[in-house]
Structure 1
Amino acid sequence: MNDAPAPRSKTKRLLVEALIAIGLFYGISAYFQKDMLKDTAPVIAAKGVNGTSLSLPSATGKPTLVYFFASWCGACKLTSPAVDNIAGDYPVLAIAADSGSDTDVIAFLKEKGYGFDAINDKGTLTTHFGVSGFPSLYVVDARGEVRFVTRGVSTEPALRARLFLTELLQ
Structure 2
Amino acid sequence: MNVKRSVLTLAEFILLAVLVVSAVSWYHSRNMPKGPAPQLELADIEGQLVDLHAMTENGPVLIYFWATWCGYCRVVSPAVSDMAADHQVISVALQSGDDAEVAAYQEKHELAFTTVNDPTGALSNSWGLQVTPTVVIVDSEGQISAVTSGMASKWGLLARMWLAK
- TM-score for the superposition, normalised by structure 2: 0.87
1:134 aligned residue (132, 140, 144): 132
Between the aligned partners of 1:15 and 1:154, the Cα distance in structure 2 is: 21
SS in 2 for 1:37: coil
Deviation larger for 5-14 or 51-60? 5-14
1:118 aligned residue (106, 115, 120): 115
1:67 aligns with 2:64: yes
Q: What displacement does 1:7 show? A: 6.5
Structure of greater Rg: 1
SS in 2 for 1:126: helix
Between the aligned partners of 1:18 and 1:151, the Cα distance in structure 2 is: 19
Q: Which runs of 5+ in 2 are unaligned?
A: none
Q: Quick check: 1:75–1:135 contact (8 Å CA) kept in 2?
A: yes
Identity between Structure 1 and Structure 2 (%): 31
Between the aligned partners of 2:28 and 2:17, the Cα distance in structure 1 is: 17
Q: Quick check: 2:56–2:142 contact (8 Å CA) kept in 1?
A: no
User: Relative to structure 1, is the Cα distance of residues 39 and 52 closer, same or farther in structure 2, using a 3 angstrom cutoff?
Assistant: same
Between the aligned partners of 1:106 and 1:8, the Cα distance in structure 2 is: 52
SS in 1 for 2:135: strand
SS in 2 for 1:104: helix
1:95 aligns with 2:92: yes
User: Relative to structure 1, is the Cα distance of residues 127 and 22 closer, same or farther in structure 2, using a 3 angstrom cutoff?
Assistant: same
Q: Quick check: 1:43–1:144 contact (8 Å CA) kept in 2?
A: no
SS in 2 for 1:115: coil
Say what the alpha-carbon RMSD is for the aligned residues. Answer: 2.0
Q: What displacement does 1:125 show? A: 1.7
Q: What displacement does 1:32 show? A: 2.2
1:86 aligns with 2:83: yes
SS in 2 for 1:35: coil
Q: Quick check: 1:37–1:128 contact (8 Å CA) kept in 2?
A: no
Between the aligned partners of 2:80 and 2:9, the Cα distance in structure 1 is: 38
Runs of 4+, deviation exceeding 6 Å: none
1:25 aligns with 2:21: yes
Between the aligned partners of 1:159 and 1:6, the Cα distance in structure 2 is: 36
- TM-score for the superposition, normalised by structure 1: 0.85
Aligned residue number for residue 48 of structure 1: 44
Between the aligned partners of 1:21 and 1:142, the Cα distance in structure 2 is: 32
